[in-house]
Amino acid sequence: MELLEQLRSRQRQDSDMFIHRFSLVHYPVTLVGAASLIDLPQTMKLLQLQAQNIVTSEQPLLALSGGIGEFISQDDIPQVIEAISEGKLIIVPDNADPCVKLTPISRTLSRSIEAPITENVLRGGISAFIEDLDTNIGILKKQTISDRLRVHTYWLGSKQRRKATLLYIDGVVNGSFLQRLQRAIESHQTKDVPDLQALNAMLGFTKWALVTRFNTTELPDSASYALGQGKVVMFLDRLPFALILPSVVVDMFASDNDRSYPSFFMYAIRLLRIIGLLTNMLMPGLYVALVSVNPDVLRIEIAMSIAGSRVGVPYPAMVETILLLVILELILEASIRLPKSIGPTITMVGGIILGEAVVEARLVSNVLIIILAATTIASFTVIGFHNAISIRISKYLILILSSIFGVLGLFAGMVVISAYLASITSFGIPYLSSSRVKEQSDG
Amino acid sequence: MDKSLQVIVVYLLTHVGLIFFMYPTDIIETLEAGHWIAVLLGFAIHIALLTVYLRGLKYGAPNNIIDIFKDVGRWFAMVILFPVALYFTMMIIITVRAYSEIVTLIFLDSTPLWAIMALILFVSSLMAMYGVESIFRTGLLVALLFSPALLLVFSLAFQNVEFLYWFPMIDERSATFSYVFSKPYLLSFFAFTGGFLFLGFIPSYIPYKPRKVLIASTALLPLFLISVYVPLLTFGPSAASALQFPFISAVDTVNVSWLMFDRVTLFFLLSLVGFSMIFLSLVIWKTSLLVRSAFKFMSHIVTVLAITAVIFLICLYIPDWQSVERLLWWNTILRLYVMFVIPITTLAVGLLRHRKGANLT
């Protein structure tokens, strides 16, 4: 019994492992598995039930393997160990017969399906993905009832293994994109993927990109809609959202949930988001450009009133803006870290007390407060937090250029950002393409 | 997939970026009346050459213009394309220098010229480095972002016009075409020749329909007319001819009470500078392609950086606006070469190839 010896010695280092004597009808066996992953009493009950049904059989193990298990040779110790760490139950017979790998009744280690946390739905389904991979696939399959839905599962990583699943609709998905994506995954399958940055590296995208290469969503609706658009949905085990590839610029403005409203409102809302994006990127830069470099552009009354509000502010507009922007970013960051119960306090302290006091103390002008408040609010009109942060960064480039070159810098910054966005492609699909990723389209 | 839209947009952008500064000055200087004839003539020549060029490229498809000429012979290609590379370089130098000068004159009087030139060149060479597909996509996005400002200005520009200045509609000089070889008229072709050559450099993986480009190019005619007639109708011919940038001055007279900005010109001008950056990036990219077809060992990025550095240094050595104008005039020979010789040669070579191909099959 070399296998059992090995497992016992392993048990001394891994107290989670159980090695349990059991009798299947009259057939003595040993059950091995991870106690934290397997609901042992329930599984034993199941085994007994199965065994009673096959009481006539001479070889109950053989019968079991035909149902819910599969054979592993006793000599293949690494595979046994791997099966245990995946949460499978191993039945080791007392003689030298091959052991059986069995899918047991596992403990419930995932929360139940709940409403989304990072996305709000006003008119549409509100069940969200959870950490369990199979549940997610199930939800999505229920949402996308199609005989052309294809599912591919990969085991990624070598030290830390993780299950990943690709879903796409055959015939709709962009073929060359899918091929290149699958090739990238297959050629780096041994790389560990503990986080999305590692996934990014695995797929061969640059590390320093300012925009995300995969859109994320918690909503089965959105994932299903993306499938219909010819995109690929990827699930990673223990990640409560779907990754949608490729990510395109339209994803910032258009969500499938918009389609719950009449078309006119849908376009109006999308226009509003575009305005939000532009406001967020341009307003701080425009303020600095107009106040410190090109005040002549403004109508004289406005120029006077802005100049009036800056009376007593001791430093240039650029410093003033950076100062306040950093404070706002701090508030944003803090409100993500803080527990929900303290969140409103921070809003109060940050928004009202700090804002009021900073103007009273003549440290910044109150026009700037208005502009930056608008900027911050506007940055969250785009869809998805991952998109909101990428536009948060790009406004600083425009701000710096504007402080040097005035309105020219503002426009140059816009061109630079446009050029940057235009240069991004993922597996042949440009970031600036329409939302529908058609077959054979690359532009 | 058909990418005609991107090609058309970039084609229009590059022209729009060039039309509104020097072109009205030159045309108004050429004639005292009947400017529309001069504009129409220039435009007709432009369309004719464009047709010839596109037809030649069609015969040579899917090769780009460099490969078409190389088919005839490496030295033939070298000899015929060398002036083009020279023209492109001159073009970039003049455009960068002129636009920086305009920007300084109009709204950044305290910023040093080299800083503005550095900014314009930096942005353009960055785009050129990203490659032509990226330039096309940028063009589309920038057009979407900037066109509202342009449309606003075009619709406001007619605020102060006096239509009586339209008359006399024709005089002897304009009717007899005696002005065709005059200096300002030859200079005015600057606005026509800048853009259209790029159609021959587009790689075959960006397919487009030549017919669509031709149709879309007629959209430029109203813009050419607006650029000349808005200052003419605002100031009258004699006053307009005294101005350095008549269209900009004409837009400067516009007063809109409901806008928070005093000078609408600024946004118009900056949109044009944005377009010209795209134009510049395209020319830098083309020049890099030409340089690399002669020196194959150079990588794209190195070539672009080298071109940019050389151009920046030359730009620094141009002392004033008079020198820019002199350069522009010297460039006329190259411009005429690029305008006439290249399209016609392309057609000739294309036809030869086409016949040969027909004989073989």
Per-residue pLDDT of B207-240, as tens digits, reads 888 888 888 888 889 998 888 888 888 888 888 8
- Could A298 and B270 be called an inter-chain contact, meaning their C-beta atoms sit closer than 8 Å? no
Interchain CB distance below 8 Å, B263 and A302? no
Count of CB contacts below 8 A, A vs B?
Answer: 110
Inspect the interface and report whether the beta carbons of A407 and B270 lie closer than 8 Å.
yes
Which one, of B209, B212, B206, lies nearest residue A441 by Cα?
A: B206
Please give the average per-residue pLDDT across A416-434, as a whole number. 87
Mean pLDDT of B4-26: 87
Q: How confident is the model over A76-88, as pLDDT tens digits? A: 888 888 888 888 8
- Burial of A393 from C-beta contacts in 10 A (0-12 / 13-18 / 19+): exposed
- Residue-by-residue DSSP string for A289-313: IIIII-GGGB-HHHHHHHHHHTTT-
Give me the pLDDT at residue B312, please: 93
Q: Which residue has the higher pLDDT, A73 or B279?
A: B279
- Mean pLDDT score, B187-206: 82
Interfacial residues of A (vs B; Cβ cutoff 8 Å) = 278, 293-294, 296-300, 302, 401, 404-412, 414-416, 418-419, 421-423, 430, 432, 438, 440-443
| Mean pLDDT, chain A, whole residue set | 84
Nearest by Cα to B342 from B188, B187, B206, B196:
B196
With an 8 Å Cβ cutoff, are A414 and B142 in contact?
yes
A384 has pLDDT over 60: yes
In this prediction, residues A392-404 reach a mean pLDDT of: 90
Residue B1: list chain A partners with CB under 8 A: 438, 440-443
Candidates B115, B123, B266; nearest CB to A415: B123
Q: What value does the mean pLDDT take over residues A22-45? A: 84
More confident residue, A209 or A439: A209
A441 falls in which pLDDT band (50, 70, 90)?
very low
Give the percent of chain A with pLDDT over 70: 94
Q: Measured between alpha carbons, how far is A6 from A1 in angstroms, rounded to an integer?
A: 9
Give yes or no for residue A1 having a pLDDT over 80: no
User: Which candidate, A325, A327, A320, A346, places its Cα nearest to that of A393?
Assistant: A325
Mean pLDDT lowest for which of A282-296, B17-31, B59-73, B198-212? B59-73
Torsion of Cα atoms, B339 then B345 then B346 then B347, to 10°: 100
Other C-beta atoms lying within 10 Å of the C-beta of residue A79: 13
| Residue B29 pLDDT | 85
Of A408, A414, A441, the CB nearest to B108: A408
Residue A437: pLDDT band with limits 50, 70, 90: low
- Rounded Cα–Cα distance for residues B44 and B42 (Å): 5
Tell which wins on pLDDT, A62 or A48.
Answer: A48
State the smallest CA–CA distance between residue B135 and chain A in angstroms.
7
Which member of A401, A408, A443 has the closest CB to residue B3? A443
| Interchain CB distance below 8 Å, B270 and A418 | no
What pLDDT shows up at residue A168? 93
pLDDT > 70? residue A372: yes
By C-alpha distance, the chain B residue nearest A278 is B145
Burial class (CB in 10 A: 0-12, 13-18, 19+), B22: buried
> Residue A298 above 90 pLDDT?
no
Which residue of B lies nearest to A406 if distances are taken between CA atoms?
B108
Average pLDDT over residues B239-262: 83
Cβ-defined contact of A418 to B141 (cutoff 8 Å): yes
B203 in contact with chain A, both atoms CB, cutoff 8 A: no
Q: What is the pLDDT of residue A267?
A: 92
Q: How confident is the model at residue B358 (pLDDT cuts 50, 70, 90)?
A: low
Which tokens hold the place of A48? 């007994």
Residue B1 and residue A405: Cβ atoms within 8 Å? no
CB B115 to CB A416 under 8 A?
Answer: no
- The mean pLDDT of B2-30, rounded to a whole number, is 86
Instruction: Taking residues B145-168, report their average pLDDT.
Output: 84
Q: According to DSSP H, which parts of A294-443 are helical?
A: 300-309, 317-337, 343-347, 355-360, 366-379, 385-405, 407-423
Burial of residue A19 (number of CB atoms within 10 Å: 0-12, 13-18, 19+)? middle
Per-residue pLDDT, A288: 92
DSSP assignment of B302-326, as one string? HHHHHHHHHHHHHHHT--SHHHHHH
Mean pLDDT of chain B: 86
Determine the pLDDT at residue A157.
85
What is the rounded CA–CA span in Å between residue B227 and residue B38? 13
**B277 and A412: CB-CB below 8 Å?**
yes
Q: Which residue of B lies nearest to A417 if distances are taken between CA atoms?
A: B138
Interface predicted TM-score (ipTM): 0.91
Q: Hey, are the CB atoms on A405 and B115 less than 8 Å from each other?
A: yes
What confidence score (pLDDT) does residue A61 get?
61
> Residue A55 has what pLDDT?
56
**Residue B147 near chain A (CB below 8 Å):** no
> A178-204, pLDDT tens digit by residue?
999 999 998 888 888 888 888 888 888
Q: What is the per-residue pLDDT for A68?
A: 66
**Higher-pLDDT residue of B168, A185:** A185
CB contact (8 A) between residue A415 and residue B127: yes
Count of other CB atoms within 10 angstroms of residue B48? 11
CA distance B130 to chain A (A): 6
Instruction: pLDDT band for A442, please (50, 70, 90 cuts).
Output: very low
Under the banding of pLDDT at 50, 70 and 90, the label for residue A440 is very low
Which residues in A lie closer than 8 A to residue B134 (C-beta atoms)? Answer: 419, 422-423
**If you average pLDDT over residues A109-135, what whole number do you get?**
86
Q: What is the pLDDT of residue A56?
A: 56
Residue A235: per-residue pLDDT: 93
pLDDT at A62: 60
Is the per-residue pLDDT at A418 higher than 50?
yes
**Do the beta carbons of residue B35 and residue B28 sit within 8 Å?**
yes
For the segment A241-278, what is each residue's pLDDT rounded down to a tens digit? 899 988 888 888 888 888 888 999 999 999 999 999 99
pLDDT: which is higher, A231 or A95: A231
The nearest CA of chain A is from the CA of B285 a distance in Å of: 14
Which residue is it, tokens 């006053």?
B239
Q: What is the pLDDT of residue B180?
A: 81
